[in-house]
Structure 1
Amino acid sequence: MSERERLAVPGELRIVEKLQRYGEDIGHEQLRYHRRRVLVSKSFTFDAAHHLHAYEGKCKNLHGHTYKVVFGISGVPDDVGIVVDFADIKKIWKNRIEPYLDHRYLNETLPPMNTTAENMVVWLFEQMEEGLRTSGLGERSAGLRTEFVRLFETPTSYAEARREWMADA
């Protein structure tokens, strides 16, 4: 059995004998495995209140949700194999998007719109795209872009905006 086969035995407990060292066991040119576009995702939650206009149903009354938003961002990995650092996505969320949403009355903090998930998901897409564009991250990774945003209003109900649909408008 080869060393690689021995290391790959499922369920076998083993202790790492030697930690791989950058510059000795792996060179800089080996850090990026490929030059293909890859999608990474990061999700966030926020609590907010809203109500809907011109709607007959429970949602015409002021009420709240614990929303979940998922951002799908793609790019070609940089020279160390990273498309975008998850911490950089979080920074855009924290600085540019979350202040308008978390523990807010959405009818007051978002642009004039009916605060449906369908309207809000497009606003979220636009905010992330602008955040990626102005953050300087696109220079680090080739063609960094928002591919989709999914906004869950409840655990089982969501609206989604996709790059190809945004281009159609």
Structure 2
Amino acid sequence: MKMMYGFRIVDKLQKIDEDIKRTQLRYHSKRVLVSKEFTFDAAHHLHCYEGKCKNLHGHTYRVIFGISGFVDERGLMMDFGDIKEIWKNEIEIFLDHKYLNETLPAMNTTAENMVVWIYEKMSGALANRIGNYDGARVEFVRLFETPTSYAEARREWMEDE
């Protein structure tokens, strides 16, 4: 077989139960974290604030989830598509292209308040799927209001205080 540019075509594609046993798919029993990132666009303004943000304005927000748990017999903790499904159907619907002051619960729509609300929504969604994942829990949610400014909620702060 001729190698070019460091690429090669495999001689034989690995087959389950022939080249690898099902019992070998799970390499470990450690807690691991998976992370997924999303963006959304929304408008808001702040109350009791004497700065630019007291006026109606918008942001392209970026949210990052860190979710930990234990892998299943396949070596998967949680499919990234499952995180996306929760985001799309249970969280983003309240945020994307919305006026946050009317779609979120009564609160000042600061990044600090919003990140806790997003944390609670994801944590609740995981609790409703308790049998789907082994020990899955939200470890952190990071909400960027601008490319260089974010608020963060961490599990130890949300559950121990």
Partner in structure 1 of residue 118 of structure 2: 124
Q: What TM-score do the two structures reach when normalised by structure 2? A: 0.95
**Which structure has the highest helix share of the two?**
1
* 1:26 partner SS: coil
Unaligned 5+ runs, structure 2: none
- For the aligned residue pairs, the C-alpha RMSD in angstroms reads 1.0
Q: What corresponds to 1:41 in structure 2?
A: 35
Determine whether 1:27 maps to 2:21.
yes
- 1:168 counterpart = 2:160: yes
Which blocks of at least 5 consecutive residues in structure 1 are unaligned? 1-10
In structure 1, the partner of 2:73 is: 79
Look up the equivalent residue of 1:165 and give its one-letter code: W
Query: Which one of 50, 53, 69 corresponds to residue 47 of structure 2?
Result: 53
Kindly indicate whether residue 161 of structure 2 is the aligned counterpart of residue 146 of structure 1.
no
Would you say how many aligned residue pairs link Structure 1 and Structure 2? Answer: 157
Q: How far has the Cα of 1:167 moved from its partner?
A: 1.5
1:94-134 deviation line (CA, Å, top 9, x unaligned): 11101100000000000000000000000000000001111
1:102 aligns with 2:96: yes
Q: How does the TM-score come out when normalised to structure 1? A: 0.90
Name 1:90's counterpart in structure 2: 84
Q: Secondary structure at the match of 1:140?
A: coil
* 2:105 partner SS: coil
Cα displacement (A) at 1:13: 3.1
Question: 1:78–1:140: 8 Å Cα contact kept in structure 2?
Answer: no
SS in 2 for 1:118: helix
Divergent runs of 4+, >3 A: none
Instruction: Name the residue aligned to 1:155.
Output: 147
